[in-house]
């Protein structure tokens, strides 16, 4: 639908910047973090890589068990696996939302923890979710002297 195209465009830009950051990183950078008990760069990237498909499943009322199983099956670890997963899961989101009618975009669905949004609002949540973790990634790199100097927005 036309009203979702700008969100997909922003997700495309976001994913391109994540790929650029990923290509900038050394192996040792993957173990950096914001502190004790915080995700490492590798863990942040692995999480970013699965957000598009995971949040699509949540948007479509996947159960807690289904999500736990999804996360168990999708744990990219290497830079190559993370990049491939990021691009594949974004393609999954694009392909699986392209068929939605206006009525389906307007339909309210409920997450396994009880939050209800229209599918369009879930798409905004996906974008916000990715922005949030990409911001964390940028922050951990900058405070550790590894600023990739990659534009995060157009």
Count of other CB atoms within 10 angstroms of residue 91: 12
Output the six-digit token pair for 36.
């004790």
Q: How far is 2 from 66, CA to CA, in rounded Å?
A: 31
Q: Is the pTM of this model over 0.75?
A: yes
pLDDT of 55-75, one tens digit each? 999 999 999 999 999 999 999
Query: Where exactly are the structural domains of the chain?
Result: 2-143
pLDDT, the chain, mean: 96
Q: Is the pLDDT of residue 1 over 80?
A: no
pLDDT per position as a tens digit, 112-150: 999 999 999 999 999 999 999 999 999 999 999 999 999
- Find the farthest-apart pair of alpha carbons in the chain and give their distance in angstroms, rounded: 48
CA 104 to centroid of chain Cα atoms = 22
154 burial via Cβ count (<10 Å: 0-12, 13-18, 19+): exposed
Least Cα distance to 111 among 64, 58, 43 occurs for 58
- Return d(Cα 93, Cα 55) in angstroms, integer: 9
pLDDT exceeds 90 at position 8: yes
Q: Which two tokens stand for residue 98?
A: 């392209």
Write down the architecture of domain 2-143 according to CATH.
Up-down Bundle (1.20)
């Amino acid at each position: 639908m036309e009203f979702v195209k700008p969100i997909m465009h922003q997700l495309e830009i976001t994913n391109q910047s994540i790929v650029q950051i990923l290509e900038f990183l050394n192996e040792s950078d993957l173990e950096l973090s914001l502190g004790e008990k915080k995700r490492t760069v590798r863990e942040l990237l692995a999480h970013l890589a699965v957000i598009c498909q995971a949040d699509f499943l949540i948007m479509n009322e996947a159960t807690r068990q289904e999500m736990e199983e999804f996360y168990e099956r999708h744990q990219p670890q290497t830079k190559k696996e993370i990049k491939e997963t990021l691009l594949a899961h974004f393609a999954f989101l694009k392909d699986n939302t392209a068929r939605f009618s206006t009525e389906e975009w307007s339909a309210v669905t409920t997450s396994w923890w009880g939050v209800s949004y229209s599918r369009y609002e879930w798409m905004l949540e996906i974008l916000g979710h990715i922005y949030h973790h990409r911001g964390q990634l940028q922050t951990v790199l900058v405070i550790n002297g590894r600023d990739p100097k990659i534009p995060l927005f157009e």
